[in-house]
A and B are shown apart, each in its own frame.
Chain A
């Protein structure tokens, strides 16, 4: 059943909003433990592709598979809801704007889903919150509310919240784009740590340096297609396509 080479499999993903086609027949395999970065200009479809993987944005065509199970199965509404809720437990997601629950402490943010979905007792949930928050260096803020945390701290709690469900796959949607520059590194460190633990990750990012240092593969997307893909050493240093070169030149110039 488990095919480590095709752990995440995207087959002919297609997505339109009315007449606008934002994903045009994209196929992609991610092996277990692999870390893939998706880069590209805004409007290229990279976030839409990421959000299609856990069906936050439903595809209009194509299939998404995770660990031998199709995510976007064609089922009647009620059955599909059950199926997708189950699938999403295995797919952690981290958002640009954190989306922590403001009415809950860091602890409750982390434990809400495991308590509801896995029936953890209070003691088990507390142990889990401590473990996950410790991992992201936020243990001493366990009883703080999001409004009492900096952006970088919020994002680390958000990562702990996703990890608490013990996902098989983590999706990062521009996790550091909304952060002040000096707070980016603490989040990158956490993501690096996950990489060292061989978490399978798909990362939409604008940070080329980080992508180059952490990822096994880089996809450059533009206008709904994958223009170029390969190891970071190739895509960043010796891109074969003009569009990639142009994007990187502009982007790196803009970043300075």
Chain B
């Protein structure tokens, strides 16, 4: 193993890791937004929204994220959507992970016993007041861990955007293999940096989870 080479290219990999982190953060924000909207639709009183929510989830969970990225980035220009690779990566992955988060958020909300809703409605609270004051604070606590799992998945799936040539960690590794012919070292280095990012995120999620638990 060529440790010296790894030390030499290491700074460039750090830069690439920073791109991976930016991708992850923006994707997570978009994913959470889509997830919240998707869950709201899935739980709507109106059948048309429920249908749209269900359709969103089954389309984006039912096809490979890579195909979704390709359609957006390579197919987009044909229908007038011009995005640079980074933008396409964030939007493609964000909408994709949003479908998973929709189910996570919805699952947490419907797991709150119906007696909670009844108790709040009985006091005279509206549907929205009931949701916001009685249901959501309880459901939010249940969401932290499974959303953390979604986040872990998301960070790893940012590697997919190498395929549309975003210069993030995986793409950078591939590029250095082209000039050094050392795939073992290059992928190992990329893998290590992914692990550090994911480990730190996991710790942050665990900390948040402990903080929000009731007693």
Residues in A lying within 8 Å of B, measured CB to CB? 54, 56, 81, 85-86, 88-89, 91-93, 95, 97, 99-103, 112-113, 116-117, 145, 147-148, 158, 161-162, 165
Interface size class on chain B is 20 to 34
CB atoms of B115 and A116 under 8 A apart: no
CB distance from B212 to the nearest CB of A (A): 9
Partner of B125, one of A92, A95, A116: A116
CB atoms of A161 and B123 under 8 A apart: yes
CB atoms of B124 and A117 under 8 A apart: yes
Q: A102-B214, A147-B214 are in contact. Are A86 and B118 (CB under 8 A)?
A: no
CB distance from B98 to the nearest CB of A (A): 27
Q: A85-B126, A88-B124, A165-B123 are in contact. Are A147 and B215 (CB under 8 A)?
A: yes
Bound Cα distance from A12 to B121, whole angstroms:
25
CB atoms of B127 and A81 under 8 A apart: yes
Q: Indicate whether B122 reaches chain A with its CB closer than 8 angstroms.
A: yes
CB atoms of A103 and B123 under 8 A apart: no
Residues in B lying within 8 Å of A, measured CB to CB? 113, 115-116, 118-127, 129, 133-134, 137-138, 141, 214-215
9 closest Cβ pairs, A-B complex: A89-B124, A99-B119, A113-B123, A99-B115, A93-B122, A88-B124, A103-B137, A85-B124, A103-B214
- Apart from A99-B116, A102-B138, A113-B120, list 10 A-B contacts with CB within 8 A: A81-B127, A89-B123, A89-B124, A93-B122, A101-B116, A103-B137, A112-B134, A117-B123, A147-B214, A147-B215
CB atoms of B118 and A99 under 8 A apart: yes
CB atoms of B118 and A56 under 8 A apart: yes
Q: List 30 A-B contacts (CB under 8 A).
A: A56-B118, A56-B121, A56-B122, A81-B127, A85-B126, A86-B124, A88-B121, A88-B124, A95-B115, A95-B118, A97-B115, A99-B113, A99-B116, A99-B119, A101-B119, A101-B134, A101-B138, A102-B214, A103-B137, A103-B214, A113-B124, A113-B125, A116-B125, A116-B133, A145-B215, A147-B215, A158-B119, A161-B119, A161-B123, A162-B123
Nearest residue, chain A, Cβ from B112: A102
CB distance from B48 to the nearest CB of A (A): 15
Nearest residue, chain B, Cβ from A85: B124
Question: What secondary structure prevails in chain B residues at the interface with A?
Answer: helix
Bound Cα distance from A216 to B134, whole angstroms:
36
CB distance from B105 to the nearest CB of A (A): 17
Nearest residue, chain A, Cβ from B117: A99
Bound Cα distance from A20 to B121, whole angstroms:
26
Bound Cα distance from A148 to B214, whole angstroms:
11
CB atoms of A117 and B138 under 8 A apart: no
A-B contact count (CB 8 A): 66
B residues less than 8 Å from A88 (CB atoms): 121-124
Bound Cα distance from A95 to B117, whole angstroms:
12
A residues less than 8 Å from B127 (CB atoms): 81
Bound Cα distance from A116 to B121, whole angstroms:
12
A residues less than 8 Å from B129 (CB atoms): 116
CB atoms of A165 and B124 under 8 A apart: yes
B residues less than 8 Å from A54 (CB atoms): 122
Nearest residue, chain B, Cβ from A147: B215
B residues less than 8 Å from A103 (CB atoms): 137-138, 141, 214
A residues less than 8 Å from B134 (CB atoms): 101, 112
Bound Cα distance from A66 to B118, whole angstroms:
20
Bound Cα distance from A102 to B125, whole angstroms:
17
A residues less than 8 Å from B113 (CB atoms): 99
B residues less than 8 Å from A102 (CB atoms): 138, 214
B residues less than 8 Å from A161 (CB atoms): 119, 123
A residues less than 8 Å from B133 (CB atoms): 112, 116
Bound Cα distance from A85 to B122, whole angstroms:
8
Bound Cα distance from A174 to B152, whole angstroms:
46
Bound Cα distance from A54 to B120, whole angstroms:
12
Bound Cα distance from A112 to B115, whole angstroms:
16
